[in-house]
Amino acid sequence: MFHIQAAPKRWDKLNSPKNKADSTCKTSQVEPVDNKSSQFAKAKTTEYISNTQQVYYLERRLFG
């Protein structure tokens, strides 16, 4: 049996960014990478769905 002990959280102390200009610059640099990975994930998901549909169709013809 596993036991999990939760650590107390301090919600009263919020971590705020020191310089908002730096954080916006970082997000603009990360954005194209996220967009690329999002497009890649979408393409792979579409490919997976297409392959699954094709396998279903072929197996249905084979065993049906």
Give pLDDT tens digits along the chain (64 positions).
455 566 665 655 555 555 555 555 555 666 777 888 999 999 999 999 999 999 999 999 888 7
Contacts of 17 (CB under 8 A, 6+ apart): 23
Does residue 5 fall inside a structural domain?
no
Contacts of 34 (CB under 8 A, 6+ apart): none
**Rounded distance, CA 62 to CA 64, Å?**
6
- Token pair for 50: 């297409």
**For residue 39, what are the domain limits?**
31-64
Which segments of the chain does DSSP mark as H helices, in order? Answer: 20-63
Number of domains in the chain: 1
Does residue 12 fall inside a structural domain?
no
